Amino acid sequence: MILRNGLFSSESVSDGHPDKICDQISDAVLDACLAEDPASRTAIETAIKGHFVCVIGELTTKADLDVGAIVRRVLSEIGHGDGRWGLDPKGMAIMQNLSVQSPNIDAGVTRLGGEIGAGDQGMMFGYACADTPEQMPLPITLAHALMRRHKAVRDTADGEILGPDAKAQVTVRYADGAPVAVTSVLLSTQHAAGTSRPKLEELVRERIIAPVIPEQDLGPSTRYLVNPTGVFEIGGPIADAGVTGRKIIVDTYGGAARHGGGAFSGKDPTKVDRSAAYGARQIARTIVANGWAEQAELQVAYAIGVAEPVSLCIHTFGTETADWQRLHDVVEEVCSPLLTPRSIIERLDLRRPIYRQTAAFGHFGRDDLGAAWEQPAAELRSDLLATKRDVA
C-alpha cells in the first residue's frame, strides 16, 4: 500500500448485492461451459433489475446450456428461493443475446504450435503485502470477512431477519506503513420489515462484527455505524440495477493497489484481464512470502494476439529487503515466461469450473478456496536472492 501514515478504508459487498448477483450469474455460465467443454471461450455480461435479467456477450462452446436455469439457481442459492425478499426466481423474465467469438479475435488467440495469444490488450496488476497472513491489505480482508460472516449468520434462526443485500466498509489507521488500529466499521444490511433498530444493531455488532474484528485491532474510540440511513427493507435488484464488472475494487485489493480496469467475471482464462491478474497476484504474493519485500505490486501488459507480455514492472515502495536491482532482474528473467496466457492457464489449472466461488467476497487472499494463484510460484525459489536479514 502506498499509504504510510493515516487512515485507509476498503469496502466489500454481499453476494446479494445487485452487481455481485450479476458477477455470479456470469461466472456460473462460464463454469457450466467449462464443466462440459474446457476449451470454451466466453465473455458474458449480465444485467438485472427487478424480475428482468439480460445475459449478453460472446460464447463459443460445445456445452449444452440452459441459461435460464443457471440464472434461477444462482438467485435461489443467494437467498431468493422463497421470494420473501421481493424477488421470485420462478417469475424472472430472462433475455439472452449470445454470439460466437469474433473470428478476428479467435485468430489472434489461437496460435500455431499450441501457443495462446492474449485475448485482449491492456495492463493488469497483482499485489501483496505483509498486513495479514494471506498477504492482503487489512481493510479489505476485514471487509470481506464481515460479508462472509453476514452470509453465515443469515442461515441461523436469529439471523433470518437479515436480507441478502449488504455492504461493509472498514477504516484502518496506518503508521510507518503498518496497520495499528481499526478506527471505524460500517455495515449496512437489508432487513425484514418491522425490525427494531436496537435489535438489528445488537445482532450486527454481536453476531457479525465481534467475531470478525479481533479485539487487539480495535482502538479506544473505534466507531460503529450500522445502517446509518435507518430503514433498509427494500434491497437487491428490487431496489437497484446490477451489472457485471462494477465492483472491480471489491474484487481485488480494496483500492490499496492499482487496477488495470478490466473486470474478471464471465471471462474465460484466455482473457488476460482475468488470468494475468491471477498470475500477477501469485508472483506478488510469492515475493512477499519469500521475505524479499513487505509490499509488492506487479504490472504486466499485453497486446492482443501476442503471447509474450509487452512489459513487466515490479514496485516495492521502498519496502524491499533484498537488493532492488537484483530483485527487478530476477522478476524480469524468471516471471516473463510464466506470464504468457498458456503458461498461466496451465500452471494455475484455469480451464476448470472454479469461478462462481470467486465472484463474491473477493478473488484474492482466499486461502479457503485453495486457488492455485494463492500458492507460491515454485519458479521463484527463496534462494534466488539474499535478503538483508540473510546477510546479517
The candidate with the shortest Cα–Cα distance to 285, out of 178, 388, 374, is: 374
Indicate the helix (H) or strand (E) that contains 18: helix 18-36
State the CB neighbour count (10 A cutoff) for residue 113. 5
Q: How far is CA 113 from CA 51, 102, 116, 268, in A?
A: 47, 21, 9, 21
Beta bridge partners of 201: none
Residues designated catalytic: 17, 19-20, 45, 58, 167, 232, 240-241, 246-247, 267, 271, 273
SS3 state at 186: strand
The candidate with the shortest Cα–Cα distance to 95, out of 125, 126, 123, 71, is: 71
User: d(Cα 206, Cα 208) in Å, to the nearest integer?
Assistant: 6
SS3 state at 332: helix
State the CB neighbour count (10 A cutoff) for residue 99. 10
User: d(Cα 362, Cα 255) in Å, to the nearest integer?
Assistant: 13
What does the DSSP assignment read for 20-82? HHHHHHHHHHHHHHHHH-TT-EEEEEEEEETTEEEEEEEEE-S----HHHHHHHHHIIIIITT
